[in-house]
Amino acid sequence: MVETSRIARNCERAVVTAYQELKLVGTNDVSAFNACTTLYRIHHPESSVNEARRLVSEWIDHHVVKKDPGPTSGCDCP
């Protein structure tokens, strides 16, 4: 698992953690991604579905696929 404590944004940490935990229990990629997109939109209801999908995919790619612990671009929330 990624060390999520280094992720500064609450919504980003929630999305990455949720994705990892869903995958651990056997959820397929598409279902986990869709759940995380919904989770992001709960944190940011002003976000469009397309914007949420873009950010979630960037965060999953950055933290889960590439295992990069560095910061990401994204929303402006804490």
Give domain limits for the chain.
4-65
Residue of 54, 18, 11, 48 lying closest to 36 (CA atoms): 18
pLDDT in tens, 61-71: 999 999 988 88
pLDDT in tens, 10-28: 899 999 999 999 999 999 9
Counting residues of the chain whose pLDDT is more than 90, the rounded percentage is 72
Residue with tokens 């060390």: 3
Residue 41 has pLDDT above 90, yes or no: yes
Q: How many CB atoms lie within 10 A of CB 63?
A: 26
- Give the predicted TM-score (pTM) of the model: 0.87
